[in-house]
Amino acid sequence: MFRLLKRFWIPLLLVVVVGIGGYAITQIRGSAAPRAPKAGEGSGITANFNPKHITYEVVGSGGTANLNYLDENGQPHLIENAPLPWSFTIVTTLPSMSANIVAQGDRSVTDLGCRVTVDGEMRDNRTSTDKVKPFIYCLVKSV
C-alpha cells in the first residue's frame, strides 16, 4: 500500500487540487450571477439630461476660413472656405462632452476670433494675433 501511495501521490494531489479549484469556481460564479432587481430598486430608465445648446462662432475681417469642429456626438467635421462671420449651433443631451473649434483664415483675413457659448454663457473667447493666414482655436473641456 505504501509503495502504491509513493508511486501515485502526485496524480492524486493533482486530482484533489483540481477538485477544490472547480468547487471554488462554481461557488464564485454562483454568488456573482445576475439577480432580479428588488421592488423600488432603481428607476429602470434614466431620464434624458437637460439639452445643452452649444454655439460655435468664428469672426474675422472678411474672406474665408477652414474650420474644424466637434458635433453633438463628438465627431469632427471640416468646413472648407466658410465665409466669415460664421456661426453654428448644436443641441446635445449627452451628460458630458467637449466643445472644440479650430479655424485658419485665408490670405485675405487679417484678424480672426472664435467664441464658444453654452446655454447663453460665453465659455471661451479668443483672438488671433497672426496677420497672415491667422489660426485660432476655442476649447471647452466639459460642457
**Ordered DSSP codes for 3-66:** HHHHHHHHHHHHHHHHHHHHHHHHHHHHHTS--PPPTTSS-SSPPPPPPEEEEEEEEESSSEEE
Amino acid 2 reads F
pLDDT for 121 equals: 95
pLDDT for 39 equals: 62
pLDDT for 41 equals: 58
Could you report the average pLDDT of every consecutive run of 10 residues in the chain (143 residues)? 78 93 87 65 62 94 92 92 94 89 92 94 93 93 88
pLDDT for 127 equals: 94
- Side by side, which strands form the sheet with 86-92? 86-92, 52-60, 112-118, 121-127
pLDDT for 30 equals: 74
**Using CB atoms within 10 A of its CB, is residue 107 exposed (0-12), middle (13-18) or buried (19+)?**
exposed
